[in-house]
Homo-oligomer: A and B are copies of this chain.
Amino acid sequence: MKKHNFSAGPCILPQEVFQKASEAVLNFNNDHLSILEISHRSKPFVDVMEKARSLALELLGLEGKGYKALFLQGGASMQFLMTAYNLLENKAAYLNTGTWSDKAIKEAKLFGELVEVASSKDKNFTYIPKGYNIPTDADYFHCTSNNTIFGTQIKHFPETEVPMVCDMSSDIFSRQLDFSKFDLIYAGAQKNMGPAGTTLVVVKEEILGKVSRTIPSMLDYKVHLGKDSMFNTPAVFPVYVSMLTLEWLKNFGGIAAIEKINEQKSTLLYNEVDRNPLFAGVVATEDRSHMNTTFTLTNDSLSETFDAMCKEAGINGLNGHRSVGGYRASMYNALPVESVQVLVAVMQALEKKA
């Protein structure tokens, strides 16, 4: 039975990526060895790493602009720490738009003064703060582009003179932006880029090397850059699958092409949430995420019926984050429009039944 996978991450990847990845576990590069048993220093894998790094820059339109890409371990959570370790000398400015920003702030506080320029905590992170000021003497400004848990997304990034750092874990490669506005972008792979276990870091080299502390090797971007993202054994398979996914996106037409599909999917679902009296959106309309749609039932007593109908239709991963409840439909790049159509059909069927 066909599954419709709305998981918030790790999440659906293109079927052809699963196919190629599965084959490579048995026979990679037609060398009759598994991708899991080859040296990370072998030419076939070095080629994979280099291709993944250059595809990331190419898709973001950042080639030849002073940026480099790294595939590190530890997820965005490790980046909360590494960004501060590498960039925070005196003071940093953070925008607080939810759980992930909150965690990033907590880790950065160990390294210097933190200025929370704005927060939407007052309304349980259901909107994106606007019109805040970023201190011009901050070492950098940090924000989270998309909030998986609450379903909000920054549509307009602030103008600022200070380096801009952005956690794009849950919407990177999903929409066109002027990525050159950012000085450091990081993203755990497990949404639009690949499986869990690797993290993309795209950094403008000129912002590094400015803090006075000694940075441990594994936390030092310059160390990783100096070794072309091979300072130590990388997460070979997650990097390989990320490369396959980036390749798939390039063949698809890149970010411009996938953005159209993503808009189609989110329009379809938000329209139904707004139209159907049994459902209600959770967040401010203008800040709605195109990746994660959060919604609730207006009548809680229907939840068992709705859950059963979803299951019957092959819908997976629709439960809201354990910290907020309700429903959440994550519609990452690889989710077909058809899956959203199936979900909308179930929502309409519930309305008829109720």
Q: A interface vs B, CB < 8 Å?
A: 1-3, 5, 7-13, 18-19, 21-23, 25-26, 31-34, 36-41, 73-78, 80-81, 103, 106-107, 110, 188, 190, 194-198, 214, 216-219, 231-238, 241, 316-317, 322
Contact = CB atoms under 8 A, between A and B. Distances in A.
Contacts of A32: 1-3
Q: How many copies of this chain are found per oligomer?
A: 2
Nearest to A5: B37
B25 A196 contact: no
B9 A233 contact: yes
Nearest to A322: B41
A236 B197 CA distance: 7
14 contacts: A3-B31, A7-B38, A10-B236, A11-B37, A12-B37, A18-B26, A19-B26, A21-B25, A36-B195, A74-B232, A81-B216, A81-B219, A195-B237, A196-B237
A53 to B, nearest CB: 17
A236 B189 CA distance: 12
- A-B pairs with the 5 shortest C-beta distances? A197-B235, A22-B25, A77-B232, A73-B73, A36-B195
A196 B40 contact: yes
A36 B107 contact: no
A226 to B, nearest CB: 14
Most B CB contacts (10 A, CB to CB) among A73, A231, A232, A317 go to A73
A15 B237 CA distance: 17
A99 to B, nearest CB: 12
Nearest to A2: B32
Nearest to A45: B10
Contact of A22 (B22, B41, B231): B22
A169 B18 CA distance: 30
Contact of A317 (B1, B22, B39, B316): B39
